[in-house]
Amino acid sequence: MRAFWAVVVLLAAVGLWFVVAPERPAKSSDALELNVPQFDPSADLEERKPTEVADARSDKSSADTEGNTNSAPTAVDAPAMALPDFDLLGESGKVIQSPNAPSKTVRTDTRNPSEVVRRIDERTVELDGRYRVTGNGSANDPYVISWELLTSASEFIDLAQGARTAPPWVRLLDGTYVQISGYYSTAVRVSVAKNLLLTLNRWDGCCIGVPPTPFDAIDVDMRTPLPMGGLHLIRFGTFRGQLRVEPVEAATYLLGFYRLEDATFETK
């Protein structure tokens, strides 16, 4: 019984000590304390006067107005540009180029073809003092001509400027029989062909070679169809036929200038 009361007294003493003991600090003595003022939104709103809020809004509005005034874009009238007079379909026959584009300088030569011929021997003539031609221009003895002679016509022809007259040494060949060598091809892949394109440079119609111009290409109409066997071959040969010198045009575009009729394939 004495032990029971001894325990009760001990527990009462411990409880009394917790009640009367001093409160311990929440932080250690060496902890860093920050003096941060507490913000009270309600107090701040109460202290600010309505006039101060109105003044602040007024100052912000004037600042925004000034900033918008300084940054507003200024409209600038762009200079008027002259548009080219294009007629893509070629229905009106207008020149399909810009009015300010430099035009090609076209030469003219109104001499008679007989005036540019100088005979050297029975089978050789010199045209315009530059081009040597052998043969008599007949079916049995055609003129052997060069691509240099044919391409010289490019300096005299420009459909956009109305220049359609070939130089006299080229007009001399119109209707005569000629012989010329070059690369030949067809528009589509066929085993035999009666119509060919004879060109100065090799061209496969797409990716290999140099695309021809109306002055370094001849539209060939064969007397008999020519075999076109094999793929990706270098087709080169000598042709004979009657040469026609006449422009083939669409609107102001020159599509062709030479045609070889009743042509025969002589040799590879």
Q: Examine the pLDDT at 2 and tell me if it is beyond 90.
A: no
- Residue 2 in any domain: the answer is no
Structure tokens of 264? 């025969």
* Average pLDDT over the chain, rounded to an integer: 78
Contact 257, 214 (CB under 8 A): yes
Read off the pLDDT band of 31 (50, 70, 90): very low
- Residue 189 in any domain: the answer is yes
Give the residues across from 218 on adjacent strands. 198
DSSP 8-state class, residue 140: S
- What integer pLDDT is reported at residue 223 of this predicted model? 96
As a whole-number percent, the residues of the chain with pLDDT over 70 amount to: 61
Count of domains observed in the chain = 1
Domain span at 206 = 113-267
Q: How far lies 108's CA from each of 101, 104, 146, 156, 231, in Å?
A: 22, 13, 22, 6, 44
**Residue tagged 């009666």 (tokens):** 194
pLDDT in tens, 83-92: 555 555 555 5
Polymer length of the chain: 268
Measured CA to CA, the distance from residue 133 to residue 113 in angstroms comes to 14
- Residue 23 in any domain: the answer is no
Q: Examine the pLDDT at 65 and tell me if it is beyond 70.
A: no
- What integer pLDDT is reported at residue 267 of this predicted model? 80
- H-helix or E-strand spanning residue 219: strand 217-227
Find the DSSP H helices in the chain: 2-20, 41-47, 50-71, 147-151, 168-171
- Residue 239 in any domain: the answer is yes
- Residue 129 in any domain: the answer is yes
- Residue 181 in any domain: the answer is yes
The pTM of the whole model exceeds 0.85: no
Measured CA to CA, the distance from residue 58 to residue 63 in angstroms comes to 9
CA-based diameter of the chain, in Å? 165
- What integer pLDDT is reported at residue 151 of this predicted model? 97
Measured CA to CA, the distance from residue 229 to residue 193 in angstroms comes to 10
Q: Which residue has the higher pLDDT, 191 or 41?
A: 191
Q: How far lies 46's CA from each of 49, 50, 60, in Å?
A: 7, 10, 22
Q: How far is CA 248 from the centre of its chain?
A: 28
pLDDT in tens, 176-234: 999 999 999 988 888 999 999 999 999 877 778 889 999 999 999 999 999 987 766 78
- Residue 63 in any domain: the answer is no
- Residue 3 in any domain: the answer is no
pLDDT in tens, 153-181: 999 999 989 999 999 999 999 999 999 99
Name the 3-class secondary structure at 1: coil
CATH assignment of the domain containing 221 = 2.40.50
